[in-house]
Structure 1
Amino acid sequence: MLLVCLVVSLLVTVPVAPTLAQGEDGAAGESGKADAEEGGLEGAIEGFVEGQGLLGAVILLVLGGVVLTVCVEKLISYLTRAALGLKLSLFALAIVFTGFEFDDTILALVLSAGDLEGAALGTALGTGLAIVGATLALAAIVRPFPVDIPSDYVVLFALAPLLLVPFVLAGTLTFVHGLLLLGAFVVMFSYIIVREFQRETPVFRNTELGEEIRADGGVALPAAVSDIPEDSLVGDRPAAGVLWLVLAVLALAGIVLASMLLEAGSEVVIGGFGLEQTVFGATVLTVILTFEDVMLTIEPVRRGVPEIGVGNVIGSVLFSVTGNVGVIMVLSDLEISRSVLAFHLPSVIVVTALAAYFLHDGKLKRWHGYLLGGCYVVYWLIAIIVFGGVPIGG
């Protein structure tokens, strides 16, 4: 399994970009594909997958899912060991490694270059909503888990979407607005990282991993994260913690490549069945594009290290509504459509605030997941019926 992650990760040069980004009028970003042709590794992968025909695309779609699953499993193990070996916060490492939505940033660059800033903004908002309404909701439904996050982190998480309100009310987002949002992103992420380095007690003290950490600083790893083949390779080397971080980077690169395979395969499969302009097709593609975040949230929870899963959720939301939107505004100005102010942004604010309340409650329960997921479904229905489309994030 490690070999698979190592091989595929060496091929990665740019992250995946969701191709079905919705414009502000709800139209799918098919024009984005025409105006901003993808090149580099991603374009090569898409060309290769298209050349395999429908059956080949299905096989590659399955292969992408397998590689993604393997590399997510490896990333969880590597980050856990790196945190323990370097005596770093696992929660902080999770935010750094999984919270940055590089694929959405690349998408913003591509769409902005093709004069499709509205589609890029829609994808940023869609990602922020999907990470809470889909991934966090599914994690709570699959396995309810205790939450032990400092109140100031929860407040940052809840307030992040509100930072967009004054900019949206301005009507036109400019270069200066982009710099301010990027600055807010740097401040919030830096605050969490610095606070984690200063904390003597780990976040998620009442999780399986937290309970195993002994007073003398030692740790007995839970069975779910113990005994992987790489333990014999890294062992007790002096730089073991750094080596685990290097392996984590390789696993993350494997996740990016697997996401590319999933995206390219899904395009061919959906196109082959004539679903690209239907609600069902959009739904299928959204599920595929969010599969990476789903795995990065559910698997850590299932294996007793929810620090990684919740770090992914909080980091992704903070990045999507500040850093990613800031990148779009730095590149070009954007007129904000009425639907963003009237519906899409308020939906992100409400669902994020609801999730923050549940996280602050001390335990994410199954009914919390059903409620968050239900809100997401209602959002989809209203967006499709009233506004004609949904910003889609991956």
Structure 2
Amino acid sequence: MNVSRLIVASLVVAVLLAVPVAPAAAQEGGEAAEESGEGGIEGQIEGFVEELGPAGAVAALLVGAVVLTFCVEKLISYLTRAALGLRVSLFTLAIVFTGIEFDDTVLALVLSAGDLEGAALGTALGTGLAIVGVTLALAAIVRPFPVDLPTDYVVLFALGPILLIPFVLAGTLTTVHGLALLGFFVLAFGYIVLRERQRDTPVFRNTDLGESLRADGGVTAPGSLSEIPEDRLVGGRSASGWPWMALAVLALAGIVFASMLLEAGSEVVVEGFGLEQTVFGATVLTAILTFEDVMLTIEPVRRGVPEIGVGNVIGSVLFSVTGNVGVIMLLSDIEISRSVLTFHLPSVILVTTLAAYFLYSGELKRWHGVVLGGLYAVYWVVAILVFGGVPIGG
């Protein structure tokens, strides 16, 4: 299996499918940021939902939640079978498919082109913080699970936000800084892909699925892999793995569409009930925008394949604070505000480092989730009361 071809193909398809997702609450120019993020398929969906009114928007939220849940379930099944057929680590596929936030990249480009670099940076930091403080925390609270991550993966995970410190201290982020961050992102993801191919046993080898697979993915599906209708559809071609990759791309497209539907419906609901300027309204919107990542983490854990969930968390955080921030700097320089230096970035570093320690301990426990979620809640309160807003990514 040529991993580079897989990555390139996945990037092209997902970028074509991805569309801007506006931040719930940005730093300066928040409302303008939202307006700049509208357009394309997302704008059409939002316009359609707005015509339905608040009641129709609630229905759109329900439909989006159902579609998202269905597609996440399918993506888990498809990636598991693709890993078997293509002899690729499931953790590798999870990093590529769920860790790279293509919609955030498109949003960063749109915001940067509209002279809203501050909002784009806030969204990138907010995404990294929400992935840990909401997604990973909820996964641990709902269903604690064992973790079998190499130490170097945990170090890369913790190092991502810390790497931003010298750049932020410089005061102004330039194209050179952006290229350096993008370089780290490519090296980090490339290292994980190559490392997984060389391992004798896959990440999370202590799970039912992990015990049945080699690092190359193996060739025989374990008994714990429940049958799905698509097994009969694919038939004898299932061993190649490529039909499952094609189905995984379709499932990913469904997830993107459902996320857009959720965002459009949530904005109409929040505005229709007069919640847009309240903490409650922002909280509701944020919860909906992070629902995709929550599902992509909790569902794999529930189904006994935590490597997908943790791959989503590690990949999303690394991408948000390195690759996504790097993309923003390619278009324009960014003046770092004092709040980023004194509060937002330190918060991301604290929560990510603590999460890395919990992952390193070998088991993510319920109280770990409570601590991470509690810190995120404190961050929200302080940010709103002291700094007047929270940079949130969805």
What interval of TM-score do these two structures reach, taking the shorter chain for normalisation? over 0.9
Q: Which residue of 2 aligns with 1:272?
A: 272
Q: Is the 8 A contact 1:17 1:106 kept in 2?
A: yes
Distance 1:371 1:386 in 2: 22
Number of aligned pairs?
Answer: 381
Q: Is the 8 A contact 2:37 2:111 kept in 1?
A: no
Closer, same or farther in 2 for the Cα pair 1:83/1:220, shift >3 Å? closer
Distance 1:251 1:163 in 2: 33
SS at match of 1:52: helix
Q: Which residue of 1 aligns with 2:67?
A: 67
Equivalent position amino acid for 2:31 in 1 = E
Offset of residue 375 of structure 1: 0.8
| Correspondences of 1:114-153 after superposition (within 5 Å) | 114-153=114-153
Closer, same or farther in 2 for the Cα pair 1:60/1:340, shift >3 Å? same
Distance 2:17 2:242 in 1: 24
Closer, same or farther in 2 for the Cα pair 1:198/1:238, shift >3 Å? same
| Runs of at least 5 residues in structure 1 that lack an aligned partner in the other structure | 1-9
Offset of residue 33 of structure 1: 3.0
Closer, same or farther in 2 for the Cα pair 1:13/1:57, shift >3 Å? farther
SS at match of 1:237: helix
Closer, same or farther in 2 for the Cα pair 1:245/1:48, shift >3 Å? same
Q: Is the 8 A contact 1:24 1:339 kept in 2?
A: no
Residue 190 in structure 1 maps to residue 190 in structure 2: yes
Equivalent position amino acid for 1:247 in 2 = L
Q: Once the two structures are aligned, what percentage of the paired residues are identical?
A: 76
Q: Which residue of 2 aligns with 1:3?
A: none
SS at match of 2:237: coil
Q: Which residue of 1 aligns with 2:47?
A: 47
Q: Is the 8 A contact 1:14 1:42 kept in 2?
A: no
Offset of residue 148 of structure 1: 0.4
TM-score scaled by structure 2? 0.93
Residue 104 in structure 1 maps to residue 104 in structure 2: yes
Closer, same or farther in 2 for the Cα pair 1:11/1:144, shift >3 Å? closer
Q: Is the 8 A contact 1:99 1:316 kept in 2?
A: yes
Q: Is the 8 A contact 2:84 2:221 kept in 1?
A: no
Q: Which residue of 1 aligns with 2:91?
A: 91
Distance 1:106 1:192 in 2: 24
Instruction: Pick one of 18, 23, 26 that aligns with 1:15.
Output: 18
TM-score scaled by structure 1? 0.93
Q: Is the 8 A contact 1:78 1:247 kept in 2?
A: yes
Distance 1:371 1:11 in 2: 34
Q: Which residue of 1 aligns with 2:288?
A: 288
CA deviation map 1:65-111 (0-9, x unaligned): 10000000000000000001111100000000000011111111111
Distance 1:333 1:14 in 2: 28
Distance 1:357 1:11 in 2: 32
Distance 1:162 1:64 in 2: 36
More displaced 10-residue stretch of structure 1: 210-219 or 88-97: 210-219
Distance 1:33 1:367 in 2: 36
Q: Is the 8 A contact 2:85 2:219 kept in 1?
A: no
Q: Which residue of 1 aligns with 2:177?
A: 177
Equivalent position amino acid for 2:78 in 1 = Y
Closer, same or farther in 2 for the Cα pair 1:12/1:222, shift >3 Å? farther
Offset of residue 218 of structure 1: 5.6
Distance 2:58 2:386 in 1: 34
Q: Which residue of 2 aligns with 1:7?
A: none
RMSD: 2.0
More displaced 10-residue stretch of structure 1: 73-82 or 10-19: 10-19
Q: Which residue of 2 aligns with 1:31?
A: 32
CA deviation map 1:198-252 (0-9, x unaligned): 11211101112113448995645354x4110000011232763011011101100
Which runs of structure 1 show a deviation greater than 6 angstroms over 4 or more consecutive aligned residues?
none
More displaced 10-residue stretch of structure 1: 106-115 or 244-253: 106-115
Q: Is the 8 A contact 2:17 2:253 kept in 1?
A: no
SS at match of 2:100: coil
CA deviation map 1:4-38 (0-9, x unaligned): xxxxxx9994424332354435x6x112234x262
Q: Which residue of 2 aligns with 1:384?
A: 384
Equivalent position amino acid for 2:40 in 1 = G
| Correspondences of 1:292-307 after superposition (within 5 Å) | 292-307=292-307
Equivalent position amino acid for 2:246 in 1 = V
Distance 1:159 1:258 in 2: 32
